[in-house]
Structure 1
Amino acid sequence: MKEFDAKKHFLKFIRNLKTSDEQEEIILKRVAKITKVINLEYWEIHSESKNSTLVGSYGRGTAINLSDVDLLIKLPENQKQRFTTYLNNGQSALLQDIKSKLKEVYPTSQIKGDGQIVSIKFSDGIGFEILPAFPILGEDGYEFPDTHNKGSWKKTNPDRDQQLLTAKNKQYKGIVKKFAKMLRAWKNNNNVKISGITIDVLVYNFVDTWNIDSIESCEFDEMSRDFFKWLYNFTECQNVITSLDNSYNISLDESINSKANTAWNRAQKAIKEYANKSTAENEWIKIYGKKFPIYETQKGNETKNIVINSISNRKKRKPIGNAKDTEEFLEDKDWAISEHIKIVTINAELEMNGFRKGSIRNFLKIPIKTNSKINFFVSPHRNITWYWKIRNVGETANRKDNIRGQILKGTNQHTEPINFKGTHYVEAYGLSEKTVEYFGKIEVPLEDI
C-alpha cells in the first residue's frame, strides 16, 4: 500500500486548473475583437487594445479553466451624459446599445444586457461578462451602470483589488492566488454559492490568521484543512465579509457553513488516511473534483478508458450548423469518473399507439409514426442517482434548431417521443454524490417510413 504524496498531487492539481494555451488564445482574440468594436463605435478609433482591461478572476490572476471572462470597457464621458439624459433607466439603454453593437459581430451568440453587464455566451462554453465603465475624474476607480431600481451609477475600483491581492500573494510567496484557484474548483465541484471575488477576499483574510511555521514548508493539504475549519467557524458567527479595499460588505450565503464543514471533515479524513493512497485521493476528489490527480488506481483500468472514449465530448462533436448550442458534456458538470466505473446496458423498447413492439435492437431503422415513443431503462442500483442525455444529431435536428443534449436528472427509466429522423444517441450516468459510478450509451437510428 503506497503513501499519499501531498506535494506531488497538489502541484499537479494546480497545473490541471490552468487555462489551456488554446483557451487563452481564444480569449485574447475575443478581447481584441470586442475592444475593436467598442473603440470604433464609441471612441471612433481603430484599436484592439486601448480602453479595455481584464478584471474579475482573470484580472486578479485567480481564474481557472471554467471561469467566465470579465472585461471592463472604458467609455468616453459624453456617452454617460448621453444616457443620463434618458427619462427612464438610461443605464439599461446603455447596456442595450452595447448589446446591439456586439450582436452585429456575434449574430449567433447568446447576448444579454441586464444588471450591470452585457454577457456573451459562446458555443464553446466560454462566457464573457462586459462591464461598461467611465473613469472618475480626479480620483481612482470607475462608475458603471446598474439597471436595478430604475437605474443608477455605482463605483468600482478593480485596479485597487488587483493591487491588494497581488501584494498579499507576494507576501506569502505565491500561495494566495494558487489556493484561490483551488477553491474555485471546490466551488464548482460542490455547487457552493460563492462568487470569485468572495473566494479571493476569504483567502486574503485567512492567510493572515493562519498559524504556520514557515511559508516555505506550506503544504496545500494542511492549508485546505485549516481553511475549511476557519471558514466553518467564521460563518458560524458572521454572514458578511468586507471587500478587499474595505469599501463595501459582501454577503455570505448561509449554505457555505455546511459546505465548509463537509470539506473540513473530508480533508481531515484524507490527511489521516495518507498511508492508504487510494482513500486519500478519493477524499480530495470529493472536495476538489475531477481535476485532482489520481495516481494509485488509474493504472490498467481498461473499463474507465473505454468509458472515457465512449462519452460524448465537445471536441468530437459533429457540426451543429446554426442551431442553438444546448448541449452539455460531462466536463461541464465537473464530475469525477470512478476508478471502478461499470458499463451498464441501456435497454430500449419501442412503443406505438400504446402497444410495445419490442427492443429497438431488433430494428435496423426505427420507424417514425404518430404516437410512437421509446422507453429507455437501466437496472436500478442502490444509492445511485441517474442522469440522462438525449442528443438529436444530423441535418434535421440542426435545421429545426433542436439538437438538445442537456444532461438532466431522472430515475433509472426515461421515455422519449419519436419526432424526426436521424441517428440520435442516449447516454445514462449513474452517480454517487459527484462521482460517475455507472455509464451507458445507445445509438437510436430513427427513419421516416
Structure 2
Amino acid sequence: MGTYDNFSKLVQNTRTLNHSTVTERCGKITKRLNIEYWDTESSTSHSRYVGSYGRGTAIRGFSDVDLLMQLPDSIYDRYNKYLGNGQSALLQEVKKSISKTYSATDVGGDGQVVVVQFSDTMRFEVVPAFINKDGTSYTYPDSNNGGTWRKTYPVAEVEAINELNNKYNKNVKKLVRIMKAWRKTNSVPISGMLLETLVMNFLDGYSYKDKGYTYYDWMTRDFLKYLSERDPNQTYWRAKGSNVKVYRTGKFENKAKRGYSNALEAISDDEKYPIIAYQTWRKIFGSYYPR
C-alpha cells in the first residue's frame, strides 16, 4: 500500500468501536439522575459527553468516558449553604443515586467526579454540574482541600475544535487521534487536552493543513518536529475556545524528537525499502499502523 492507503487505514484503526455500549450506559446513568433530580425518565436530557469522547478525539482502546450531568440550580443552592465541603456531600449524593442503577458496579467519588467503573475496564467519570447564565459554561464541585466550585467550558471547546476541523479538511481530529496512537505506543507524558491544543496551534500555521492522506507522512514528521521544539520550561498553554490553562504533565520533547527522527527515516525508506519503512512507522504508531 502507498502513503494514502496506509494513513487512511491508520486513521480508521484509531476510530472507536463501542459506541452502542457507551450510549447504553450513558443512557442508564442519565435516566437514573433525571429521575432523582428532574422528575423525568429521559435517558438523554440534561447530559452531554465532555472530554475527548465529547470532542471526537478518543481512540480505539480508550477506557474513560467523561459525562457532564446538569442538575437544577436548587441543588447548587442547597449544597452551597453547607458550612463544610458541600461539594463532597453533593458527590456522595450523586454516587448513591447512580448506585441504585448500577448496584453491582464499583461506584466511587474522585475529588471532582463520580466514577463508575465497569468490569470490562470502561470507566465513566460523571461530573454533576450547574449551567451558568451564559448558557454554555458550567459550575462543578471540587471536593479537594475543603471544597470549592470551579467552572468548565465544554461547549466553547467543542465548538473551537469543530470549527478548525471543518476548516482544515477534518485533519484536526484525525491528526489528534493518530498522535494519541503515538502517545500510547511510546508512553508519552502528555495529556489528551494538551495534545489537542498543540495540534490546533500547529495546523494554524502549517502549509499542508488542508491536504489529504497523501501528505500525512509529512504531517506526522512535521508535527513531531513541532512538538520536539516546544520550550521544556513552558508549564501551560491556552485551550482553544475556553482560553483556560492546559498544563503539561511531563517532558514530551525528547520522545517527540525520537519520533521525528523515525519519521524522517521511514519517509526516506518508503520507496526503496518498504518493509524497513513499515517497521519504522510501527515504532511510531504501534499496532495501529496497518500491516
Indicate the structure with greater helix content.
Answer: 2
* 1:265 and 2:234 aligned: no
Kindly report the root-mean-square deviation, in angstroms, between the aligned alpha carbons of the 2 structures. 1.7
| Other structure's SS at 2:48 match | strand
Instruction: From 153, 168, 174, give the equivalent of 2:170.
Output: 174
CA contact (8 A) 2:31 2:41 kept: yes
Partner letter of residue 142 of structure 1? Y
| Cα shift at 1:108 | 2.5
| Cα shift at 1:92 | 1.1
How far, CA to CA, are the matches of 1:210 and 1:115 in structure 2?
39
Partner letter of residue 111 of structure 1? V
Structure 1: where are the runs of 5+ without partners? 295-449
| Cα shift at 1:241 | 1.0
CA contact (8 A) 2:157 2:242 kept: no
* 1:91 and 2:87 aligned: yes
CA contact (8 A) 1:59 1:162 kept: yes
How far, CA to CA, are the matches of 2:16 and 2:209 in structure 1?
32
| Other structure's SS at 1:186 match | helix
CA contact (8 A) 1:72 1:133 kept: yes
* 1:45 and 2:40 aligned: yes
* 1:71 and 2:64 aligned: no
* 1:256 and 2:257 aligned: no
Q: Deviations over 1:357-389 (max 9, x none)?
A: xxxxxxxxxxxxxxxxxxxxxxxxxxxxxxxxx
How far, CA to CA, are the matches of 1:107 and 1:174 in structure 2?
41
Normalized against structure 1, the TM-score is what? 0.62
Aligned position for 1:306: none
| Cα shift at 1:63 | 1.3
Say if 1:217 and 1:190 are closer, same or farther in 2 by CA, change over 3 A.
closer
Please give the residue correspondences for 1:155-174 in structure 2 after superposition, counting only pairs within 5 Å: 155-174=151-170
Normalized against structure 2, the TM-score is what? 0.94
CA contact (8 A) 1:92 1:114 kept: no
CA contact (8 A) 1:212 1:218 kept: no
State the aligned residue count.
Answer: 289
How far, CA to CA, are the matches of 2:217 and 2:82 in structure 1?
54
Aligned position for 2:274: 277
Partner letter of residue 280 of structure 1? A
Aligned position for 2:15: 18
Aligned position for 1:141: 137
CA contact (8 A) 2:3 2:213 kept: no
| Other structure's SS at 1:145 match | strand
* 1:204 and 2:197 aligned: no
Please give the residue correspondences for 1:344-423 in structure 2 after superposition, counting only pairs within 5 Å: none
| Cα shift at 1:217 | 7.3
Bigger radius of gyration: 1
Aligned position for 1:348: none
Give the percent of matched residue pairs that are identical in Structure 1 and Structure 2. 36
How far, CA to CA, are the matches of 1:52 and 1:246 in structure 2?
20
Say if 1:193 and 1:214 are closer, same or farther in 2 by CA, change over 3 A.
closer
Q: Deviations over 1:321-345 (max 9, x none)?
A: xxxxxxxxxxxxxxxxxxxxxxxxx
| Cα shift at 1:213 | 8.7
How far, CA to CA, are the matches of 1:238 and 1:210 in structure 2?
22
CA contact (8 A) 2:232 2:251 kept: no
| Cα shift at 1:144 | 0.6
Partner letter of residue 248 of structure 1? V
How far, CA to CA, are the matches of 1:71 and 1:253 in structure 2?
23
* 1:291 and 2:288 aligned: yes
- Once superposed, which parts of structure 1, at least 4 consecutive aligned residues long, lie more than 6 Å away? none
Larger RCO (CA under 8 A, 6+ residues apart): 2
| Cα shift at 1:66 | 2.3
Aligned position for 1:60: 55
Indicate the structure with greater strand content.
Answer: 1
Please give the residue correspondences for 1:427-446 in structure 2 after superposition, counting only pairs within 5 Å: none
